[in-house]
Amino acid sequence: MSKRILIVEDTEDNRQIMRDLLSSAGYELIEAQTGEDGVAMAKSHRPDLILMDIQLPVIDGYEATRRIKKDPALRQIPIIAVTSYALSGDEAKTRAAGCDGYVAKPFSPRELLLKVRQLLA
């Protein structure tokens, strides 16, 4: 059975890149475009992993991650921040919010796939 990944990303081009990469690697994908929808889809679909943008409409990725990690039924789902926030301290902020991994945009497809595989192992 293939692993299910929730992509929470508001930019279609970024979702398309991740969709192409991850579907060709055999993963099942579901997508959300806002932080709020991401939290709702995490609850309804229980993905094996979440790729979370930080700059999102409605609620940002930090808050979406906090809400997911606060839910006892969801807290074990690994979350990788995939973000253009790449300044000193930004990775620490994502980890403080509850993210288990961090990939800066623009990302190397190989790096993203490696992180996904590590957290799903």
The set of residues, in sequence order, having a beta carbon less than 8 Å from that of 20 and lying 6+ positions away, is none
Mean pLDDT of the chain: 95
Per-residue pLDDT tens over the stretch 98-107:
999 999 999 8
Look at residue 84 in the predicted model and tell me its pLDDT: 86
CATH number at residue 98: 3.40.50.2300
Instruction: Find out whether 76 and 100 touch, Cβ atoms under 8 Å.
Output: no
Range of the domain at 101: 4-120
Of 42, 50, 59, whose CA–CA distance to 22 is shortest?
50
Query: Into how many domains does the chain fold?
Result: 1
**DSSP bridge pairs for 82:** 103
Rounded to an integer, the average pLDDT of 57-66 is 96
> Would you say residue 1 has pLDDT above 70?
no
pTM for the full predicted model: 0.96
Give the amino acid at 11: T
pLDDT tens per residue, range 22-45: 999 999 999 999 999 999 999 999
